[in-house]
Amino acid sequence: MKKGLIALVMFAATGLVGCGKESVPSAPAAADPALVARLPADADLARLYEQTCKACHTAPLSGAPQSGRPADWAARLAQGTEILLDHTINGYKGMPPLGSCMDCSEDDFLALIDFMSKAD
């Protein structure tokens, strides 16, 4: 039991290591439960989101643009899809390379960005 708990804590801590520290002025101090609960409609995309994106993109103190908060994404989207995809694949500031998603294709990344950058 202890080994399982220790492994879970280590996994959670490892997932947050990639979260950036850049300022996100529009993000609230605490995670919005409604935004934390939202998932992509596609089951495969939802699995990828929960495994790789959700830890940082629903934790306001991470510095990552928050999922479901278009204002957090506006400046990033204004740079263009090519830049966003490059930052996702190669890493940028606190964003780990490939967003720590070794199973994601470019199409997956674009779909995840699209999902996270829009409000329901």
Q: Is 12 exposed, middle or buried (0-12, 13-18, 19+ CB in 10 A)?
A: exposed
Tally of structural domains, the chain: 1
Task: For 92, list phi and psi in degrees, rounded to 5.
Answer: -165, 125
Four-CA torsion 18, 23, 29, 33, nearest 10 degrees: -50
Residue 14's domain is classified under what CATH number? 1.10.760.10
C-alpha–C-alpha distance, residues 19 and 55, integer Å: 8
pLDDT, tens digit only, all 120 positions of the chain: 455 434 333 344 444 445 554 444 454 567 778 788 899 999 999 999 999 999 999 999 999 999 999 999 999 999 999 999 999 999 999 999 999 999 999 999 999 999 999 997
Q: Can you give the residue range of the structural domain that contains 59?
A: 2-116
pLDDT reported for residue 88 = 96
Query: How far is Cα of residue 112 from the mean position of the Cα atoms in its chain?
Result: 8
What pTM did the predictor assign?
0.75
